[in-house]
A and B are shown apart, each in its own frame.
Chain A
Amino acid sequence: MTVTTPTRRGALGVIAAAAAAFTLGTPAHAQVDFSGQTIEWIIPFGTGGGSDTWARFNAPFLSKHLPGNPTVVVVNEPGGGSTRGTNLFTQRARPDGLTILGTSGSTQFPYLLGDPRVRYEYQDWSVVMVGPTGGVAYVSPSTGVESIDDVANLQGQRLVYASQGATSLDLVPMLAFKLLGLDVNYVFGFGGRGDGRLAFERGEVNIDYQTSSAFISNVTPLVDEGKAVPLMSWGVLDDDGNPQRDPTFPDLPILEEVYEMVHGEAPSGPMYDAYKAFNTAGFAAQKMVVLPEGASDELVETYRAAWRDVFADPDYQATFEDALGSYEQVTDRGADALFSAGTNIDPEVRSMVVDMLASEYNVRLGD
């Protein structure tokens, strides 16, 4: 029994789930064949943004390496900070491999925080690929910091940060700064990191972070001119889920190292757990490709095999760095580790973060 026939469109998920149970344990040969079919890749964001570009870059490669070379189309379903399209996926997608979802940090965060608009459950899904990214925090030399060795100078200073919102990816730097004991005034309402960088260049803010590719093309020139000082990177996770220096920025320490420089001991405790969970969900495991609930092992293996072939494709290797930056997309074990680290949070850690957001930044996630 394979999941090939599109004529089962009328059938309900029950049958597909039965099929999944039936194929469980059979050897994972790629018997799935998508010839002549169309695969919808749901992207819960609008056209032109990071997630959209990421999916549109990957889609033709996926089409080339899936059995039967199906047409892979990117379907944008924006709204609700990506919760709408993702809810739609949960509600509608059947585990026939014809509908897949691409998530991003903004899909993971509301899930981890328990936003009332979230009606999806990551643990029901099967991850087939994870696309990591990284970020670098930097400060203005006006803070008296000329290199990371002066990080102690930041203590007791009033720093200003241009934020997109307390529940956006900016939650990661917020938690990092908190761990380092920095006194940061967050000014909200910025449209994107690009606007934040502009405020930094104007001298309105003196601490900022950018994702890796934006940092390289836009902040490195400032660093060379002596107008910005890189502080730390968010690091990457190895296959076992341990934080490591980011190979793109091998000279920059990661938060864990800076924490030791400041506090004289390795970070621990609920605040650090929160940082780890959100950092992974926001950067190391930022982009995920998942199959809906009930996808058979065979289907998952088919997709993972396709991604393995994509990563080995010389055309892909020649172009991906220009389009996506230097972070290797992963599948299989690496993807599992990132998925699990990026979609799980201790309930106590969660409620600590939610309480902090509510008491300090007036964030109400709804009731």
Chain B
Amino acid sequence: MFDIFVSALTNILTFQHIGYMMIGVLVGLMIGIFPGLGGIAGLSLMIPFLYGMDTTSALAMLIGLVAVIPTSDTFASVLMGIPGSSASQATVLDGFPMAKRGEAARALSAAFFASLVGGLIGAVVLTGFVLIARPVILAFSSAELFMLSVFGLSMVGVLAGKSLVKGVAACALGLVIGSVGGAPATGEFRMVYDVDYLYDGIPLIIVGLGLFAVPEIVDLLRRDRSISEHNTLGAGWFEGIRDVMRNWWLTLRCSGIGALIGAIPGLGGTVVDWIAYGHAVQTVKDNPKFGQGDVRGVIAPESANNAKEGGGLLPTLLFGIPGGGAMAVFLGGMVLLGIQPGPSMVGSNLDLTYTIVWSLALANVLGAGLCIVLAIPISKLTLIPFKLLAPFMIAVICFAAFQATRTLDDLIVLLAVGVLGVYMRRFGWPRPALLIGFVLATQAETYLYQAVQFYGWEFLTRTGVMIIIGITAGSIWLGLRARVSEATPAEILAEEARDTATGPAANIRARAPQITFALVALGFFAVGIHDALKQSFLGQVFPLIMASAGAAFTLLVLSFLVWGKPNHAVSSDTEHEALAEATPLRSTLGAIAWVASLVALTAVFGFVIALVTFFVAFLRLRARASWLMTLILTAGCTGFVLTLASALNMRFPGGVLQEMYRLPWPFS
């Protein structure tokens, strides 16, 4: 055993190994900083260089790349509220409010330092875990995986915000949206309405961007100031590192959770950060301000998501089952290098496994260290007046969105989910609850069906299942005590803008917009029920139950809105807060229209021409920038996008123009 450690360590600690790893880290950092581009894009850049390299150096480069992606995407989620990948969705919740408060540098350095620690702890956990991982992973059957999905769903209790009823309804909304596409048990297609795009289901990245990034952009456009409310960056990055050290026990726990859940194949790394976030909310006692910029809400998911990559290595190496997108890329690279995953990775190739696990830890240190250094200069972005930043952000989210399938449909769905997100935000429907439902919809349905097929309903009595049920019950109990709210105290206390009259008629008058939104949600559930009834039993049972539950809870929301007393917990409308603050706001529809205009222009002229037109129009008409400024910014953004796209052999989504004429790249 000892000689294996020594052999692995000598592999890693060579100048050559670290050098190649640094190349991987740098490429990964440059790519990962861009939302939507992850390891996949990085791999295609690197593949040509993998040839002719010796295995260890090539592996070092790949690992450097994979390790830094969940770290570098934190920049966009903290600074701009854009979740670049599923690994950084929970970070947005508290990271972005911190940036808005002028604490971007602190949030970033806390996130990166937590990532660094998480990566290291993950490696320590895995060093021991590797040896027993095969039987442990095999112990998680479909039954346990189903219960783990339920455990993930129970986080809704924590993330439901002010009103649990709305939280459950939002979660059901996510579950129904997540069931669009092929049914796991029968393969029949649900709610596709002959739209080719819907056959595959809606991509997670688009739901994340639509729910979180679009509403923030719209809100900032309405407020018309820089992202940071203050002109300074406030407490510096040293503060962030101190935050992590003060919360060392939380960091440690979340890293452990990340490494272990990441190691279970099938659940996917997508919920790890939510579970860690939920865990932080449940357990932090002193003065929690989650949802409004609590640094612990940044530390928890970030320490978990780096440890998760290490955990994800195990099923990849031992069973050839990649835990997520980055691991799939890593697996492809390994196969190209002639390394076959399998039981030999804990047998004759154990030193290789340790080389990989520890390289990942080292790459984490290098990557996170580099990010910490970059945190201060990059966080100055939050001081730029938003009207100059906005076209970039709109371009970035569209660019990120069409990485999903490279079609115009990506942008259209982004816009649709974005509008949903804007109104969910306004009416206090918790967006994280929808996202968790969406992420876990397929898993919950698949594993329940498989568990019943394999074990019958007795699967509930399996030891593993009972343990997870216990954990889930505890989590729900803790969650009901500590619920995170996206609403600021001002929002909660804000008086509803209404006349003094009470009773249903007055309620409907005062809450008409909220009631309309709830009615739209109800309509969507009705569509879901209608579609489910057309499917076979196995295809319909899950969406039918979820849509019916969603409809029931939405009806409950509606009845509270109509008959509830003034300032009932269910009633929430941020427009009231704005009225109370007397902040002059521009119109929501106007802001949405700007986002829509880029999508519409793309539909006609293709993305590149649309981008240039949109930039010029926005900067001249909305930001009132000078022609020189407009020229510089437009050329800068277009040039950057084109360089990136040409390096990645990327085609842009086309529009009507491209249908009619064949144009050379980049217009094609």
Q: Besides A48-B331, A76-B44, A202-B138, 19 other CB < 8 A contacts?
A: A47-B44, A60-B51, A75-B651, A78-B405, A79-B197, A81-B199, A117-B199, A160-B454, A188-B186, A198-B321, A199-B141, A205-B454, A217-B340, A217-B342, A323-B336, A361-B186, A362-B186, A362-B187, A363-B187
Q: Is the CB of A197 within 8 A of B649?
A: no
Among B226-234, B445-453, B487-495, the one that faces the other chain is B445-453
A251 within 8 Å of B by Cβ?
Answer: no
Which of B187, B344, B405, B407 is close to A165, meaning CB atoms less than 8 Å apart?
Answer: B187
Q: Which residues of A contact B331 (CB under 8 A)?
A: 48
B142 within 8 Å of A by Cβ?
Answer: yes
Minimum CB–CB distance from A361 to chain B (whole Å) comes to 7
A150 within 8 Å of B by Cβ?
Answer: no
Q: Which residue of A lies closest to B326 (CB)?
A: A48
Q: Which residues of A contact B48 (CB under 8 A)?
A: 60
Q: Which residues of A contact B332 (CB under 8 A)?
A: 47-49, 52-53, 56
Q: Is the CB of B340 within 8 A of A48?
A: no
Q: Is the CB of A57 within 8 A of B343?
A: no
Minimum CB–CB distance from B267 to chain A (whole Å) comes to 11
26 intermolecular pairs with C-beta atoms under 8 Å apart: A40-B649, A48-B330, A57-B336, A73-B649, A78-B405, A79-B405, A80-B200, A84-B196, A117-B196, A166-B187, A167-B187, A188-B184, A189-B184, A194-B319, A194-B320, A204-B142, A213-B340, A214-B320, A217-B340, A217-B341, A218-B343, A221-B344, A323-B336, A323-B337, A361-B186, A362-B536
B539 within 8 Å of A by Cβ?
Answer: yes
Q: Which residues of A contact B338 (CB under 8 A)?
A: 319, 322-323
A226 within 8 Å of B by Cβ?
Answer: no
Q: Which residues of A contact B344 (CB under 8 A)?
A: 217, 221
Minimum CB–CB distance from A93 to chain B (whole Å) comes to 11
Q: Is the CB of A48 within 8 A of B329?
A: yes
Q: Which residues of A contact B536 (CB under 8 A)?
A: 362
| Shortest 10 CB-CB contacts between residues of A and residues of B | A322-B338, A189-B184, A48-B328, A217-B342, A48-B332, A194-B321, A217-B340, A189-B446, A47-B40, A48-B329
- Please judge, given known A-B contacts A48-B325, A188-B187, A218-B319, whether A198 and B341 are in contact too, CB under 8 Å: no
Bound together, the chains give a CA A204 to CA B141 distance in angstroms of: 8
Encode B408-419 as 1/0 by CB contact (under 8 A) with A.
Answer: 000000000000
Q: Which residue of B lies closest to A319 (CB)?
A: B338
Minimum CB–CB distance from B253 to chain A (whole Å) comes to 28
A247 within 8 Å of B by Cβ?
Answer: no
- Please judge, given known A-B contacts A9-B662, A74-B44, A218-B342, whether A192 and B321 are in contact too, CB under 8 Å: yes
Minimum CB–CB distance from B660 to chain A (whole Å) comes to 12
Q: Which residues of B contact A12 (CB under 8 A)?
A: 662
B561 within 8 Å of A by Cβ?
Answer: no
Bound together, the chains give a CA A166 to CA B186 distance in angstroms of: 8
Q: Is the CB of A204 within 8 A of B454?
A: yes
Bound together, the chains give a CA A363 to CA B183 distance in angstroms of: 10
- Please judge, given known A-B contacts A47-B40, A364-B188, whether A9 and B664 are in contact too, CB under 8 Å: yes
Q: Which residues of B contact A49 (CB under 8 A)?
A: 328, 332
Q: How many residues of B are counted as interface, with CB atoms below 8 angstroms from the partner's CB atoms?
A: 59
A187 within 8 Å of B by Cβ?
Answer: yes
A347 within 8 Å of B by Cβ?
Answer: no
Q: Is the CB of B40 within 8 A of A221?
A: no
Interfacial residues, chain B to chain A (CB-CB below 8 A) = 40, 43-44, 47-48, 51, 137-138, 141-142, 182, 184-189, 194, 196-197, 199-200, 265-266, 319-322, 325, 328-332, 335-338, 340-344, 405-407, 445-446, 449-450, 453-454, 536, 538-539, 649, 651, 662, 664
Encode A1-26 as 1/0 by CB contact (under 8 A) with B.
Answer: 00000000110100000000000000
Which of A48, A53, A75, A218 is close to B320, meaning CB atoms less than 8 Å apart?
Answer: A218
A46 within 8 Å of B by Cβ?
Answer: yes
Q: Which residues of B contact A257 (CB under 8 A)?
A: none
Most chain A CB neighbours (cut-off 10 Å) among B44, B187, B330, B407:
B187
A33 within 8 Å of B by Cβ?
Answer: no
Which of A53, A74, A77, A366 is close to B335, meaning CB atoms less than 8 Å apart?
Answer: A53
Most chain A CB neighbours (cut-off 10 Å) among B48, B449, B539:
B48
Q: Is the CB of A48 within 8 A of B662?
A: no
Q: Is the CB of A363 within 8 A of B341?
A: no
Q: Which residues of A contact B194 (CB under 8 A)?
A: 366
Minimum CB–CB distance from B327 to chain A (whole Å) comes to 8
Minimum CB–CB distance from B646 to chain A (whole Å) comes to 10
Q: Which residues of B contact A194 (CB under 8 A)?
A: 319-321
A191 within 8 Å of B by Cβ?
Answer: yes
- Please judge, given known A-B contacts A77-B406, A80-B196, A84-B405, whether A221 and B450 are in contact too, CB under 8 Å: no
Q: Which residues of A contact B342 (CB under 8 A)?
A: 217-218, 221
Bound together, the chains give a CA A216 to CA B445 distance in angstroms of: 32
Q: Which residue of A lies closest to B192 (CB)?
A: A366
Q: Which residue of A lies closest to B316 (CB)?
A: A194
Encode A173-193 as 1/0 by CB contact (under 8 A) with B.
Answer: 000000000000101111110
A355 within 8 Å of B by Cβ?
Answer: no
Q: Is the CB of A48 within 8 A of B649?
A: no
Q: Which residues of A contact B454 (CB under 8 A)?
A: 160, 187, 199, 204-205
Q: Is the CB of B188 within 8 A of A362?
A: yes
Q: Which residue of B lies closest to A91 (CB)?
A: B659
Q: Which residues of B contact A322 (CB under 8 A)?
A: 338
Minimum CB–CB distance from A227 to chain B (whole Å) comes to 11
A328 within 8 Å of B by Cβ?
Answer: no
Please provide the chain A residues from 105 to 157 with a CB less than 8 Å away from any CB of chain B in the complex: 117
Q: Is the CB of B186 within 8 A of A363?
A: yes
Minimum CB–CB distance from B547 to chain A (whole Å) comes to 20
Minimum CB–CB distance from A206 to chain B (whole Å) comes to 11
Q: Which residue of A lies closest to B455 (CB)?
A: A204
A201 within 8 Å of B by Cβ?
Answer: yes
Q: Which residues of A contact B197 (CB under 8 A)?
A: 79
Q: Which residues of A contact B319 (CB under 8 A)?
A: 194, 197-198, 218
- Please judge, given known A-B contacts A48-B325, A53-B336, whether A362 and B649 are in contact too, CB under 8 Å: no
Encode A334-367 as 1/0 by CB contact (under 8 A) with B.
Answer: 0000000000000000000000000001111010
Minimum CB–CB distance from A76 to chain B (whole Å) comes to 8
Bound together, the chains give a CA A367 to CA B141 distance in angstroms of: 37
Bound together, the chains give a CA A161 to CA B343 distance in angstroms of: 22
A195 within 8 Å of B by Cβ?
Answer: yes
Q: Which residue of A lies closest to B182 (CB)?
A: A165
- Please judge, given known A-B contacts A78-B405, A362-B536, whether A188 and B185 are in contact too, CB under 8 Å: yes
Minimum CB–CB distance from A58 to chain B (whole Å) comes to 11
Q: Which residue of B lies closest to A225 (CB)?
A: B343
Q: Which residue of B lies closest to A7 (CB)?
A: B664
Encode A203-224 as 1/0 by CB contact (under 8 A) with B.
Answer: 0110000000110111001000
Minimum CB–CB distance from A147 to chain B (whole Å) comes to 23
Q: Which residues of B contact A213 (CB under 8 A)?
A: 340
Q: Which residue of B lies closest to A94 (CB)?
A: B662
- Please judge, given known A-B contacts A47-B43, A56-B47, whether A79 and B200 are in contact too, CB under 8 Å: yes
Minimum CB–CB distance from A203 to chain B (whole Å) comes to 9
Q: Is the CB of B185 within 8 A of A189?
A: yes
Q: Is the CB of A198 within 8 A of B265?
A: yes
Q: Is the CB of B340 within 8 A of A191?
A: no
Q: Which residues of A contact B43 (CB under 8 A)?
A: 47-48
Bound together, the chains give a CA A84 to CA B664 distance in angstroms of: 22
Q: Which residue of B lies closest to A162 (CB)?
A: B450
Bound together, the chains give a CA A361 to CA B536 distance in angstroms of: 10
Q: Which residue of A lies closest to B405 (CB)?
A: A79
Q: Which residues of A contact B406 (CB under 8 A)?
A: 77
Minimum CB–CB distance from B280 to chain A (whole Å) comes to 30
Bound together, the chains give a CA A188 to CA B662 distance in angstroms of: 43
Minimum CB–CB distance from A7 to chain B (whole Å) comes to 10
Q: Which residues of A contact B266 (CB under 8 A)?
A: 191, 195
Q: Which residues of A contact B47 (CB under 8 A)?
A: 56
Q: Is the CB of A202 within 8 A of B186?
A: no
Q: Which residue of A lies closest to B331 (CB)?
A: A48
Encode A36-70 as 1/0 by CB contact (under 8 A) with B.
Answer: 00001000001111001100110010000000000
Which of B328, B341, B450, B538 is close to A362, meaning CB atoms less than 8 Å apart?
Answer: B538
